Amino acid sequence: MRRTGGKAGVDRAAAPVRLAPADLVGLGLLGIRTRKVRAALSALGIAIGIATLVLVTGIPASSQRALDRKLATLGTNRLQVTPAPNHDPPIKLPAESVAMVSRIGPVTVASATGDFGVNVARSDKTGAGDYNAIAVVATRTNLLAAIDGRVRAGRFLDDAMERQPTVVLGSVAAQRLGFSGVDLARPTQVYLGRHQFTVIGILDPAPLSPEIDRSAMIGWDAAARWLRFDGHPTRIYVRTTDAQVLAVRSVLAATADPEHPGDVLVSRPSDALAAKQAVQQTFSSLLLGLAGIALLVGGIGVANTMYISVLERRREIGLRRALGANRGQVRIQFVTESIVLSALGGGAGVLTGALAVAGYATLQHWPVTIPPEAAGAGLGGALLIGVLAGVYPAVRAARLNPIESLSSV
């Protein structure tokens, strides 16, 4: 009985110590709680690395978005469809061509104007031929969305006004007719042919559509009712996305006039589109390179911190091993500490970097852009760095000889 009891006592004494997962996590946080200054400095180093990652991706992304907006004003996503010139009799696009073009999947806006050879004058006393080279065009109500136009004074044609004898003047047309503004309370009329139309609006200059500047625009239905417009558009304005411009252009002619696609002219994409695509590729490569460098710097900082921590805590490690902690528990302690430090530093770094990007972009009058992948990569990268950077120091700590560790000074 004594032998059995003695043997059992020896076995119980030699049994390995088992800790619950919660105890292991608490043990991993022990080094952070007891060495707050060192932990804060370690987390600060990680935060600087992650903040740099967010900063070097967010600022170029904000700059790129601002540049994209400027390039978009050059018409990178717009196309025009017109019938081929110099035909006798003149070629006409089908009356339903605008509706057919609008059904192309990537097309976001399809609008049109129709020139039908009517003159405009300020007075019915205007002499023959004195018309200031202003074209009267039937106009769809969504024209401004297609050309990115803006109203300078008054209003544009809508579903109600387009059926009435009302007209909107382009910037040049208004100047030539002597209009500097519009007073809707005391409307002014101009003569389109022999009919009076009320001026309800004046547009700002449209640099990418100079023909609109020299036009007097009336509603599609009003043109048919008052001036016998036949409903055939002479110019279709198409707006799509930059990525789909070439694809849309390839099918526009056949869509606008399926019977005679060879008699349809489609404008070529703006040269700014190629410049915009080149800029996007350059910025993408730049962002990837900077992000990689920032993560590498942060990883080296964490690994260095944890390695020094192992050297500083050799006696602590030896004492724990002497008290029964196995190598796996020591490894988990240091890996957990590394992950927590990285998580704290990563969260602080993402927040700091985002605030810095917002401040700088605001000063430069850029749209604030923080790529979600940068924030995600910052947090995820910090945790990954914490695991990888803590592995070697943890393995080294677990391999320390307890006796040598306790005897070290």
Amino acid at 198: T
| Distance from C-alpha of 308 to C-alpha of 300, rounded to nearest angstrom | 12
Number of C-beta neighbours around residue 96 at 10 A:
12
Query: How many residues are there in the chain?
Result: 409
Q: Computed from CA positions of residues 309, 315, 319, 321, in that sequence, does the dihedral angle turn out positive or negative?
A: positive
| pLDDT level of residue 274 (50, 70, 90 thresholds) | low
Which residue carries 């957990």 as its tokens? Answer: 336
266: tokens are: 């489609």
pLDDT digits (tens, 9 = 90+) for 234-267: 999 999 987 888 899 999 999 999 999 999 999 8
What is the per-residue pLDDT for 94? 94
Alpha carbons within 13 angstroms on the beta-carbon side of residue 225 total 11
User: Can the peptide bond before residue 89 be classed as cis, meaning omega within 30 degrees of 0?
Assistant: yes
What is the per-residue pLDDT for 236? 96
Is the predicted pLDDT of residue 268 greater than 90, yes or no? no
Going by C-alpha positions, the residue among 124, 135, 115, 131 that lies closest to residue 190 is 124
Q: Are strands 166-169 and 195-203 parallel, antiparallel or unpaired?
A: parallel
pLDDT digits (tens, 9 = 90+) for 326-349: 777 777 777 777 777 778 888 888
Q: Are 287 and 61 in contact (CB under 8 A)?
A: yes
| Distance from C-alpha of 347 to C-alpha of 369, rounded to nearest angstrom | 18
What is the per-residue pLDDT for 376? 78
Q: For every residue of the chain, which 3-state class applies, written as one string?
A: CHHHHHHHHHHHHHCCCCCCHHHHHHHHHHHHHHCHHHHHHHHHHHHHHHHHHHHHHHHHHHHHHHHHHHHHCCCCCEEEEEECCCCCCCCCCCCCHHHHHHCCCCCCEEEEEEECCCCEECCCCCCCCCCCCCEEEEECCCHHHHHCCCEEEECCCCCCHHHCCEEEECHHHHHHHCCCCCCCCCCEEEEECCEEEEEEEEECCCCCCHHHHCEEEEEHHHHHHHHCCCCCCCEEEEECCHHHHHHHHHHHHHHHCCCCHHHEEECCCCHHHHHHHHHHHHHHHHHHHHHHHHHHHHHHHHHHHHHHHHHHCHHHHHHHHHCCCCHHHHHHHHHHHHHHHHHHHHHHHHHHHHHHHHHHHHHCCCCCCCCHHHHHHHHHHHHHHHHHHHHHHHHHHHHCCHHHHHHCC
Which range is least confidently modeled, 119-123, 158-162, 196-200, 229-233? 119-123
**Average pLDDT of the segment spanning 156-164:** 92
Q: Are 193 and 201 in contact (CB under 8 A)?
A: no
pLDDT digits (tens, 9 = 90+) for 8-31: 444 444 455 566 666 666 766 776
What is the per-residue pLDDT for 158? 93
- The distance of Cα 229 from the centroid of its chain, to the nearest Å, equals 43
| Distance from C-alpha of 16 to C-alpha of 177, rounded to nearest angstrom | 99
The whole-chain average pLDDT of the chain stands at 80
Q: Are 402 and 322 in contact (CB under 8 A)?
A: yes
| Percent of the chain residues past pLDDT 90, beyond the cut | 32
pLDDT digits (tens, 9 = 90+) for 105-127: 999 999 999 998 888 888 776 65
pLDDT digits (tens, 9 = 90+) for 222-241: 999 999 999 999 999 999 98
What is the per-residue pLDDT for 113? 96
Going by C-alpha positions, the residue among 196, 122, 186, 184 that lies closest to residue 155 is 184
Highest mean pLDDT among 140-149, 270-279, 395-404: 140-149
- Which of the two residues, 271 and 282, has the higher pLDDT score? 282
Q: Are 46 and 385 in contact (CB under 8 A)?
A: yes
> Is the whole model's pTM more than 0.85, yes or no?
no
What is the biggest distance separating any 2 CA atoms in the chain, rounded to whole angstroms?
A: 134
What is the per-residue pLDDT for 100? 96
**Average pLDDT of the segment spanning 91-115:** 94
| pLDDT level of residue 221 (50, 70, 90 thresholds) | very high
**Average pLDDT of the segment spanning 120-148:** 82
Q: Are 88 and 386 in contact (CB under 8 A)?
A: no
Q: Are 383 and 327 in contact (CB under 8 A)?
A: no
What is the per-residue pLDDT for 404? 62
- The distance of Cα 70 from the centroid of its chain, to the nearest Å, equals 14
| Distance from C-alpha of 33 to C-alpha of 29, rounded to nearest angstrom | 6
Number of C-beta neighbours around residue 184 at 10 A:
13
What is the per-residue pLDDT for 25? 66
| Distance from C-alpha of 292 to C-alpha of 49, rounded to nearest angstrom | 11
140: tokens are: 């769809």
- Which of the two residues, 140 and 407, has the higher pLDDT score? 140
Angle of the 372-399 helix axis to the 327-363 helix axis, nearest 10: 150
- Which of the two residues, 213 and 407, has the higher pLDDT score? 213
pLDDT digits (tens, 9 = 90+) for 276-319: 566 666 666 666 676 677 667 666 766 676 667 666 666 666 77
| pLDDT level of residue 387 (50, 70, 90 thresholds) | confident
pLDDT digits (tens, 9 = 90+) for 32-43: 777 777 777 777
